[in-house]
């Protein structure tokens, strides 16, 4: 685990444990190593180019944004960002925030006890339960969208942000159960036994021992849920209209309703992506664990 942590840190930080073997490996081939580093950098910049282009475009005037050949030098402007906010970005962001935060809190509240019941004090058919949870992740969403649409229509909850909260909770719950299980399994058994001997009740054990020990796990589970909920598009597209539309729909409306405003679309895209990009940059290590549903630590 410590090796993963050291790579996320900057180049100047000491690399514990890895240093020795690496030095043996790269001894002598200074020039080859420098070339490889250069190659890696060029590849990374090339791969990152579309993102850089998106950010650059967002600071352009529309005439510079759609030019042939592409405009590389221009006077940056914040006009596009201003336009995005004036077009009512606030409402979209508010809906996304509610759908993301509330669904994530619900997921954690449901997943932590469930994960406890498939790890620390397991139910009889733990494997089947885990199997069931992950199998729902494999069901194509499109196979359930019609009944959800029809039922939501009957219940008069179409275009309602709480419908999204419900669905995003269901969408992320299986993932969270698997992830939290992997964190619970790391809790040393001695700690739990000690608590039992001390006569601590289940709730006390939960609150004062287990939860603090898996708090980092809860944080990385929440991060993954936030990413998926924030970026979700399919449900939002089909189940919301004017009132409950989320940020991805803001991008779509920027694109379709008023012709092609490339620079403004770019500004909207940057704003839409920023929360998740920042969170992901900061928590790179948690990301790996989350994406593998806890399998890779």
Partner 1 sequence: MPASSTPARQRPAGRRRDANPAVSRGARSDAQRRDAWSRRLPLLPALVFTVIATQIPFLITIWYSLRSWNLLNPASDVFVGLSNYAAIFTDSTFRQVALNSVLYTLGCVVAAMVLGTLFALLLDRTFRGQGIVRTLLITPFLIMPVASATLWGVSMFNPTFGLVNWVLGLVGIEPLDWTSSYPVLSILIALVWQWTPFMMLLILAGLQSQPKDVLEAAQMDGASRLQTFLHITLPHLRRYLELSVLLGAIYVVNTFDQIYLMTAGGPGTSSANLPYYIYQRAFLGFDIGQAAAMGVVVVVATIVIANFALRLIFKGFMSTEQN
Determine if 218 is a binding residue for partner 1 (CB under 8 A). Answer: no
Q: Applying CB under 8 A, does 207 fall inside the site for partner 1?
A: no
Q: Are 112 and 218 in contact (CB under 8 A)?
A: yes
Residue 199 CB, shortest distance to partner 1, in Å, is 14
Minimum CB–partner distance for residue 231 and partner 1 (Å): 5
Give the nearest distance from C-beta 174 to partner 1 in angstroms: 7
Write down the least CB distance from residue 78 to partner 1, Å: 19
Note whether 11 binds partner 1 by CB under 8 A: yes
What is the Rg, in whole angstroms, of the alpha carbon atoms belonging to the chain?
24
Closer residue to partner 1 in complex, CB, 76/189:
189
Binding track, positions 115-134, relative to partner 1; x by CB under 8 A: -xxxxxxxxx--x-x-xxxx
| Interatomic CA distance for residues 177 and 38, integer angstroms | 42
| Element spanning 35, H or E | helix 30-58
- Which of 16, 28, 30, 44 is the binder for partner 1 (CB under 8 A)? 44
> 175 exposed, middle or buried (CB, 10 Å; 0-12, 13-18, 19+)?
buried
* 247 in contact with partner 1 (CB under 8 A): yes
Residue 194 binding partner 1, by CB under 8 A: no
Phi, psi of 141 (to 5 degrees): -60, -35
Evaluate whether 233 touches 248 at the Cβ level (below 8 Å): yes
Q: How far is the CB of 296 from partner 1 (least distance, A)?
A: 5
**Angle between helices 262-282 and 284-291 in degrees, nearest 10:** 90
**85 sits near partner 1 (criterion: CB under 8 A):** no
Under a CB-based contact definition with an 8 Å cutoff, are residues 251 and 268 in contact? yes
- Per CB under 8 A, 204 contacts partner 1: no
């Amino acid at each position: 685990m410590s090796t993963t942590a050291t790579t996320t840190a900057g180049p100047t930080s000491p690399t514990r444990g890895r240093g020795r073997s690496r030095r043996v490996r790269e001894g002598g081939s200074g020039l080859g190593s420098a070339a490889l580093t250069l190659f890696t950098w060029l590849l990374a910049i090339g791969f990152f180019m579309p993102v850089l282009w998106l950010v650059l475009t967002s600071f352009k005037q529309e005439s510079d944004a759609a030019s042939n050949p592409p405009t590389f030098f221009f006077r940056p402007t914040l006009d596009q960002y201003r336009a995005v906010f004036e077009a009512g970005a606030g409402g979209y962001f508010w809906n996304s925030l509610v759908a993301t935060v509330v669904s994530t809190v619900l997921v954690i509240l449901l997943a932590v006890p469930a994960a406890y019941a498939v790890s620390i004090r397991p139910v009889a058919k733990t494997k089947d339960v885990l199997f069931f949870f992950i199998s729902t992740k494999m069901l194509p969403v499109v196979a359930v969208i019609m009944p959800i649409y029809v039922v939501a229509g009957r219940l008069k909850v179409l275009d309602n942000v709480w419908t999204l909260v419900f669905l995003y909770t269901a969408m992320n719950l299986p993932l969270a159960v698997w992830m939290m299980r992997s964190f619970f399994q790391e809790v040393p058994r001695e700690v739990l036994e000690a608590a039992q001997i001390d006569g601590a009740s289940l709730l006390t054990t939960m609150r004062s021992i287990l939860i603090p020990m898996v708090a980092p796990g809860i944080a990385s589970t929440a991060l993954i849920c936030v990413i998926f909920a924030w970026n979700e598009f399919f449900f939002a597209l089909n189940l919301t209209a004017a009132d409950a539309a989320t940020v991805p729909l803001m991008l779509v409306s920027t694109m379709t309703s008023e012709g092609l405003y490339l620079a403004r679309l770019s500004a909207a895209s940057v704003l839409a992506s920023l929360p998740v990009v920042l969170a992901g940059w900061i928590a790179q290590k948690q990301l790996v664990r989350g994406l593998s549903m806890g399998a890779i630590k």
